[in-house]
Structure 1
Amino acid sequence: MPDIRHEDRVAQASHSPAAVTRLAASWRRSMVKHGLDPGRPPQLRRLTAPELASRSARLDEFLAIARPQLDQLFQLVCPTGCNVLLTDAAGIVLEHRVNASDAATFRTWGLWQGTDWSEEAEGTNGIGTCLAEGRQVTIHRDEHFYARNTGLSCMDAPIWGPDGRLLGALDVSSARADHTERWNGLIAAQVNQSARQIEAAFFRASFPGARIISAQTGEADDALLLVAVDKDDLAIGANRAARRAYGLEKEGKLRPRPASDLFGREDEVTGFEKAERAAVIRALARAEGNVSAAARALGVGRATLYRRMQRLGISENPGRLSQG
């Protein structure tokens, strides 16, 4: 019995009443909502140079902050034949990193600046599905909607802005046939970490002069809570994780409120402070008590970490940390 064609398998899964998996739901969106045909010839949507320049200009500050992280991520994944892409919230590739020897291949695939990788344009794919669902995804080879994209593996993570809205997606893609799902999992973890670092750096840059309070959630995704507090001790900004944790406005400008309303009275040890204390202790323990190394791991200055340690009652001596 001959193997079923990819486009036929996608069509059957999309129209099946039992299409309840996230992948099948994405295929269905691609076919039913966007009217795409999984077997159609390649018709990549590419922006003109002026159109791309206009889109990039709108996110100029964000891109300036993201570029060092893109370079760092590329150095990690380029030996495996991968490229790195950063898109806006519409799925337009604004930045890419690729080895010169692989450039022609990735350009042919459309993994290049100015290309539209939204679900509306390309159906189920790492970038488009990540943006459509607002979550980290890996789309491996024949999980793609279009038959022509089944040679790709794409690992993506969303990047959320300081206002809680989706800013874009960070993508690592590979066209190598020997990239296994297990290997993709390792790359996906690094993509997610890099996306969170970009997110945190842009959040801090968006509130100059404010005190940034940070803590890990302790949840499975270990999301970083970030709250910006001004000189009057008013909380004036919160990232998406903090907005969700504290029931704040889901999107848009945060209504200023006393920081104590979020964290509790100043004479209490709050849940946020406990989480922050645990995060600082973990960083110090991993750095074997080296405050400078711990500060780098937490993304803060050494003096800032000393102030936090003093406020949280944490000793610099790692031998005493477990007693705190």
Structure 2
Amino acid sequence: MSLTQEKPVDRNTAPASRHMLPELIQASWQRCRHYGMSPQWQITQAPLSDSELHLQQEQNRQLRKLALREMNLLEPGLSTAGRILLLADAQGVVLDSQGDSTFLGRARKVSLMPGASWREQITGTNAIGTAIVERRFVQVIGEQHFFDENRFLACNAMPIFSPTGQLAGVLDISGSAFVNAPSASKLVRHAVQHIEHDWTAESATDLVVRLHQHPSWLSTPEEGLLCFNDGVLSAASSRGLAFLGLGAAVIGRVHWRDIFQGAPTYGRQELRLQQAAGLYYADVSRSSVLSASIAASEVPHAGPESFEDLKDEALRRAVAAENGNVSAAARKLGIHRSTFYRRLKQEPN
């Protein structure tokens, strides 16, 4: 990644109109000044080549698979609203973009496009780069951007964490700073919540715990997900960790008995926390049941045979868990018995 910078004489003076900034934005501006940046700089990037971008996309295959599914759902509503969706990797390199074609054209003039980097060290205070530093949702509107040339933007970015708690990427919704779009922050938060939920579910290898304060939210993306392997917490969604007041650092280090009272049992139940006065409604199951439920509910589509085989294998494991009883497995997953026969190409007895 290369860039050129046109520097004015005054390197550190910000326009007087920008003196009132949120604390998070002020901290970012201080970092930008520490980098020796000036708001009047004009940044010209040399984005990744097509082959370099393809390699970067391949290295983030799982992130893109889940994120693009959410982006495709949001895109129709954004394409007519003057907004765009951007997916960046953990280093701030934009991997994919969708949305309003007119605004995309304007965004490309400031390198808001696949292959370009939006790290703070390159593009100053911006939602993607600052979300990477802060590890939380960031909104940067208009004059809150450090560089003058980005002041026409209103950006909402949410970091995406892998099931093991590592920063995997950032999802961003950007649009014009002169158009009121209060829903953007909610949309990007919910999309990331869904991505992390599905990613955690797909990573399960042993015991899976769905939990929420209200039982009606179980089996939805609003629930928290915890995965245990031999009793040790092996993966978790950000929401699952937040429910318990835990940080990602506990993944791989804490045992079931460190979190919950009593030994794990399968099925719907109430779980009480070990170290605090708290109760959650939960559904505890084997990972094969959860993965089979996801596979059975997906819309059939053309794709690599290996992916289809994985879905079929997940269903077979669910049937095996019920000692070959297809009807029992179907009831456990909450799907119709015929789904198994259709997917496994079997005829009912």
8 Å Cα contact 2:28/2:125 also seen in 1: yes
Structure 1 counterpart of 2:201, from 200, 204, 210: 204
Structure 2 residues without counterparts, runs of 5 or longer: 1-9, 215-220, 284-296, 299-328, 336-349
Instruction: Name the residue aligned to 1:174.
Output: 175
How far is the alpha carbon of 1:8 from its aligned partner? Answer: 4.0
Runs of 4+ in 1 over 6 A off after TM superposition: 11-14
Task: Summarize the alignment of residues 40-119 of structure 1 with structure 2, pairs less than 5 Å apart.
Answer: 40-119=41-120
Shift in CA distance, 234/75, structure 1 to aligned 2, threshold 3 Å = same
Greater displacement, 93-102 / 62-71? 93-102
How far is the alpha carbon of 1:244 from its aligned partner? Answer: 5.8
8 Å Cα contact 1:94/1:113 also seen in 2: yes
Instruction: Name the residue aligned to 1:225.
Output: 224
Q: Which amino acid aligns with 2:237?
A: N
CA distance in 2, matches of 1:144, 1:44: 17
CA distance in 1, matches of 2:155, 2:168: 19
1:26 aligns with 2:20: no
Identity in percent: 23
Instruction: Name the residue aligned to 2:157.
Output: 156
8 Å Cα contact 1:137/1:155 also seen in 2: yes
Greater displacement, 119-128 / 262-271? 262-271
Structure 2 counterpart of 1:237, from 220, 235, 238: 235
Provide the secondary structure at the position in 1 that maps to 2:248.
coil
Tell me the TM-score normalised to structure 1 length: 0.70
RMSD: 3.6
8 Å Cα contact 1:39/1:147 also seen in 2: yes
How far is the alpha carbon of 1:247 from its aligned partner? Answer: 7.2
More helix by share: 1
Instruction: Name the residue aligned to 1:190.
Output: 187
Structure 1 counterpart of 2:211, from 208, 215, 218: 215
Shift in CA distance, 274/35, structure 1 to aligned 2, threshold 3 Å = same
Shift in CA distance, 252/37, structure 1 to aligned 2, threshold 3 Å = farther
Shift in CA distance, 12/104, structure 1 to aligned 2, threshold 3 Å = closer
Shift in CA distance, 26/101, structure 1 to aligned 2, threshold 3 Å = closer
Instruction: Name the residue aligned to 1:283.
Output: none
Shift in CA distance, 265/26, structure 1 to aligned 2, threshold 3 Å = same
CA distance in 2, matches of 1:45, 1:28: 26
How far is the alpha carbon of 1:243 from its aligned partner? Answer: 4.4
Provide the secondary structure at the position in 2 that maps to 1:128.
helix
Task: Summarize the alignment of residues 128-167 of structure 1 with structure 2, pairs less than 5 Å apart.
Answer: 128-167=129-168
Structure 1 counterpart of 2:248, from 244, 247, 250: 250
Q: Which amino acid aligns with 1:275?
A: Y
8 Å Cα contact 2:160/2:169 also seen in 1: yes
Shift in CA distance, 78/11, structure 1 to aligned 2, threshold 3 Å = same
More strand by share: 2
Provide the secondary structure at the position in 2 that maps to 1:276.
strand
CA distance in 2, matches of 1:11, 1:26: 17
Q: Which amino acid aligns with 1:28?
A: Q
How far is the alpha carbon of 1:194 from its aligned partner? Answer: 0.3
Instruction: Name the residue aligned to 1:284.
Output: none
Instruction: Name the residue aligned to 2:280.
Output: 275
Instruction: Name the residue aligned to 1:281.
Output: none
How far is the alpha carbon of 1:303 from its aligned partner? Answer: 4.8
How far is the alpha carbon of 1:260 from its aligned partner? Answer: 4.3
CA distance in 2, matches of 1:303, 1:96: 40
Provide the secondary structure at the position in 2 that maps to 1:275.
strand
How far is the alpha carbon of 1:202 from its aligned partner? Answer: 1.2
8 Å Cα contact 2:131/2:137 also seen in 1: yes
